[in-house]
Structure 1
Amino acid sequence: MGSAVGLCSSPRAWGCDWNIARLLCFAAISWVLMTQMEVGAWTYHYGDKSDYSWEVARNFCRSFYTDLVAIQNQREIAYLNSVLPHHRTYYWIGIRKINNVWTWVGTSKALTKEAENWASREPNNKGRNQDCVEMYIKRDNDAGRWNDERCQKKKRALCYQASCQSSSCSQRGDCVETIGNYTCDCYPGFYGLECEHVVRCKNLDPGPDCSHPLGEYSYNSTCKFLCQEGFELQGLDTLQCLESGNWTAEAPECAAVKCPALAAPGRGGLNCTHWHGDFTYNSSCAFSCETGFVRNGSETLECTALGQWTGLPPLCEAVKCPVLDSPDRGQLNCTHRHGDFTYNSTCAFSCETGFVRNGSETLECTALGQWTGHPPRCEAVKCPVLDSPDRGQLNCTHRHGDFTYNSTCAFSCEMGFVRNGSETLECTALGQWTGHPPRCEAVKCPVLDSPDRGQLNCTHRHGDFTYNSTCAFSCETGFVRNGSETLECTALGQWTEHPPRCEAVKCPVLDSPGRGQLKCTHWHGDFTYNSTCAFSCETGFVRNGSEMLECTALGQWSDHPPLCEAVMCPGLAAPGRGRLNCTHWYGDFAYNSTCAFSCETGFVRNGSETVECTALGQWTGSPPLCEVMRCPKLRGLEPILMNCSHPLGSFSYGSVCRFRCTQGYFLNGTSRVRCQPDAHWSDKMPTCQEEAAPYFKQVLLYMGGGAVALVALLLTGMLIALLIKRLSDKEEEKTLLNPTSDLGVTGVFTNATFDSNL
């Protein structure tokens, strides 16, 4: 409470204006005094005096406690939902959308998918700045769940007081808050309840230079190793103590630097002294050569601290003779035992094909560095002299003398003639030409054949299908030539054009008719001469046109393509006193058309309600009739007189019957009835009752004159009442008869009664 009072003395610390700050301060003091839940070192705080916006609620929590509550697990959620009281506006918690990411404001860490605790269909992200989060407490649905809300809404703040301090976990681990306590998540290399212990590695032998920031040979200790000159480390030069209690590697050792191993030179010897191992630091080696060979290089080498010898190993080289060259048009084949052209080397001479040797075949290098003789020479072989062929020319090239080895003679022929034989002859190493001299013959073109469905007519001047031959092409009826009509054999042995083809005349491509199929037979290619195409139609459609078309030699079809037209049914009309409603898929009253019939009020359908046009051009049934509804017949019996009008038939819908009584009777009931659409009369048939006048006459005879006046008065009243009723019935009959008065139908009053047999 002291901290709250202190802040109220300087409310600017809350980041809001003076009046709001004062209000929050007083609310906070009341809140701290009245509501606090403590669970060990971790405490929750809530108030029931005022609601605040999210920012104001957080400023309050950070001023008096740690921050808005950070939900860590489901156990904490269950605890809060059980101990907090229900409040209609619920409670703010420490999550807010920052840069479009839901973030725990206390740690600035993003909310992970695994930690989400949203209520059903939340967050809804309606784009209304719903960037803050409330927690439902004791809600009927989604209790303990979260909902995103606009930050300016007023809700209760739910604060927590953290138990972790800056000194917690010895500053060697993360302090993790729990309900009622905290635990330490130690950094690598530390352990213990407060991370007070450091992991140790085994001690190293004396010698390395070590640094121990956390204790001797403990986590993060480092040790460096060095070797004397001429020696090198076998392993890592620096080791570090890891969090596992192991060094990064085994301790290294110092081994003498190695130089490359040496071997005795060819025709020589090697004598070495080794101080620290074969061919290592300070080893020395002396070289010597056999009799007849001399050393080329240093006599002694030593291995240095850098792992290199003081020089290159020497060689023992043999005595040299003068270098020999191959003779012109010959070869030199030498055997060198101790090096090129050295002691004991032997060289054999040979001549190229077509040349012969003049001199010694083999020479040898002696111990004095001289050859046993002079090198030989190679001379060319000769062939017979050649002449030019008939109707041709001869052109020769002589490299080593006229008509000698490798002389070449080329033969050519006049235009339109080709050589029969080798174009070029060459003088071989045996003194013979590579073939017989050629002849000049007329150029041949490829043999031509008559084209399919065509003819060929040729003229040959120098032999069949040779230079200057000409060939003419023609085609059969129904086929046209694709290419030149005449070809000529050229001097290149090629025809002036490619042979033409006889191709069938083409007709326009046909398509299947709508609602039909097309089946074609092609003899010479799709839609060409003699192709035939048959047309057929789907069920419910008939062909309008030829069934079969043929492609003629003129490239035209024998007729126009037919059409597939829907089968037609007879046209229908609405029945008398009825209506017709049709659906036409392929034309009026055509295949698959459906027609529905209905009747006017007072009429009933006699027949099918719906008919359909079939593929045979017939309706599925006969059109129905609309027949008038009939009421039971009426019969007149005295004293009732009946007069009826029948505009639509005897006792049918719309018929009206009027009633009256014979003299001496009056009507008891309606004066008229009407036949209704449901085939019932509008009322019951009336009856006639006898009038009372005759009875009164007899009475008067006995009562005398005194009663006459009374009787007269009574009769007068009755007559007036009867007259009024008759006038009323007349008006009612007029009204009923008006709708059908134009039909000119009249009735005759008769004795009437209902016909009970109908």
Structure 2
Amino acid sequence: MGTAEGLRSAGRTWTLGSCGTYLGIAAITWGMVLWVEVDAWTYHYSDQGDYTWEQARNFCQTFFTDLVAIQNQQEIEYLNKSLPYHGRYYWIGIRKLGSTWTWVGTQKALSKEAENWAEGEPNNRRSNQDCVEIYIQRPQQSGKWNDEPCNRKKKALCYRASCQPFSCSQRGECVETIGSYRCECYPGFHGPECADVLQCAKLEPKGVPMNCSHPYGDFSYNSTCEFGCHKGFERQGAGVLRCLPSQEWSANIPTCTAVTCPVLRAPDQGEMNCSHLHGDFSFGSTCAFSCQKGFVLMGPESRECTATGIWTGDATRCEATACPVLSAPDQGEMNCSHLHGDFTFGSTCAFSCQKGFVLMGPESRECTATGIWTGDATRCEAISCPVLSAPDQGEMHCSQIHGNFTYGSMCAFSCQTGFALVGLQSRECTALGTWTGDTPHCEAVTCPVLRAPDQGEMNCSHLHGDFTFGSTCAFSCQKGFVLMGPESRECTATGIWTGDATRCEAISCPVLSAPDQGEMRCSHLHGNFTYGSMCAFSCQTGFVLVGLQSRECTALGTWTGDTPHCEAITCPVLRAPDQGELNCSHLHGDFTFGSSCAFSCQTGFVLIGSDRRKCTATETWTGDAPRCEAIKCSALTTPKMGQATCFHLHGDFTFGSTCAFSCQVGFVLMGSESRECTALGTWTGNPTHCKAISCPVLSPPSRGQLSCSQLHGNFTYNSTCTFSCEEGFVRMGAEMLQCEATGNWTRDPPVCAEDGAFLKQVLAYSSSSALAVAGLVLSGGLIALLAKRLSDREEKRKLLKPTSDLGAPGTFTNAAYDANL
């Protein structure tokens, strides 16, 4: 059960009222409700029953506004002092949405400055603490916040907002404050309750129609004024102005200017006069048009600029006055010049006549401004020639194109049967008024003079004169010739002989042809292959004629003798060379003129001589007889310190030759043991040489020197090495070693030991037993030293291969390795 108490703070009275005021409503569903009132803003909490965070918010939203939204530290202090202590504390209106702590009533994120977390909070223990409680009357950190799981049950801490739906005149945002609220006015409004509206300057446009809308008063915030223009005028500037929160209009007052039309120009050959009411070529402007003399206006005489910016009517123009179209006179020509269009004012036309005609009328005419041509129509008349008549014994027929016996008239002349026209068959009237040619006349018809045919005779009889109408001629031929054509001919009235021309043709023999691979030359007296023709025969180079050299065509139409022919000349038969082959082609028979034989050799042999021979017209072959010789390889030499044994099949060091190589004692063969000369002229294998067998490399003994003579290379076969010791040392072993053919030295290398002089002093003062002991000790030491030396060398030798690269057992050639021993 809540209690009431009074608190005065900051000049205002806060009261904690009894729960009885709200008990009747709250107890229906939730049980006892306690409240705290601060003027219009009141806090409420549940006295009975605890709720989860969602249930607590549902409780607050059902009976009040929402879970409390704490705005400042003063409010926290008030709540902590006024509310009773509860062991589970109170839910407030903060919850984690996503990963952000948010005031659920306003959906605004909790700012860093407004945070009031208890020390170490929020800690999100167990990762499920998404709701917030406030510590009321807690011994430590009272009034601080703590994050808790939303399913835990606590007291609901509610508030009833002091802001109402019509607070701030609905012209601003109502912000809750402790004990009251304040208005944050929207742009354009001011005053405690945002009831006052900002004013803009009154608009007074001149000559521009305006229509305004004032939602909050004349020319106040959000007033809009729409501007237009009269017909024929267009607006310059914004069409709508709005009063802004800055108490300025959104734009300047627009103006109206007259609509303009495109600028007009006076038409060519014309003039234009315009009047402008509102400016040049703008709405209401009118323009009148006229044309110069000789021109007519096409289109409206005046045009006006309309409200749409378009001129009335179509574009005007001045066209030249037209005259009737002129044409050239018959048999004449016309050339015109036009200034303003074809056959219009100012056009001039000049006239002329063709050859044989004369111009009748003015030579030129001009089109006037009245559309009429100057002068009369022109024409061309034909020139006249003298009148003609028909010749005696003849007739005349004329064609008159331009009038009787005028320019271009044509007259044709002809004679009666048996007469021929002498002169032109026709005459024409020229442009000079004269006729072409002389006057013709008719004479008796004559036939061409005939002649006796070649190799023949002619006999004629003449009735009306030599070779005239009625004359007849008879024809005959000499021996060996035959008459071709009619035996007689007669001259007709047309001046033509009957029949075709006669001739005497020589009797023909069969046509001859040249023999194959031969030629024929003929002489023809009376025509090809006719009586008296003679043909001579010959053969081409490489061929011989068999038969007569010439034949003659007789009067019987046959040739003398038989037909000759040409045979190819024969060469001696050829054979393939030894170790070779022969391949021949024969054009005219085996081994005859033109036959060609190609020679080749077997592998390992080369052809000496011509690789091809040809049978000539002289019965001989070109070139010399070829032969096949074995291909040669370079001569091989016996290797130094070795022997070579060669076997030659086809000559010294030629194809098929083989050579075997060996070396003397103490030397080993390097390269192929045998080589063969190939068909390419090269030897198989690699060049051979004899290399001296190597012995192990020797080194000077300790405290000694080594001097060697090398005959065939360092430490090789027959090399000798001499050993010596320094003063105070004596050589133990051979003085000289020689390298043998086995690759071993004749003996083991010697060693240098200290001289035995000190031993003699010891023996001089010692007994015989002591001397014996010393001798034994010295001998044993020398023997042990020598055995150690030999043992070391034997150990090193075991590291070498048992077989050398030369394949000889016991011979070692690793000089680099031996040198290190």
The bucket for the TM-score relative to the shorter chain is 0.3 to 0.5
User: Which has the greater radius of gyration?
Assistant: 2
Larger relative contact order, structure 1 or 2 (CA cutoff 8 Å, min sep 6): 1
Given the two structures, how large is their TM-score scaled by the length of structure 2?
Answer: 0.33
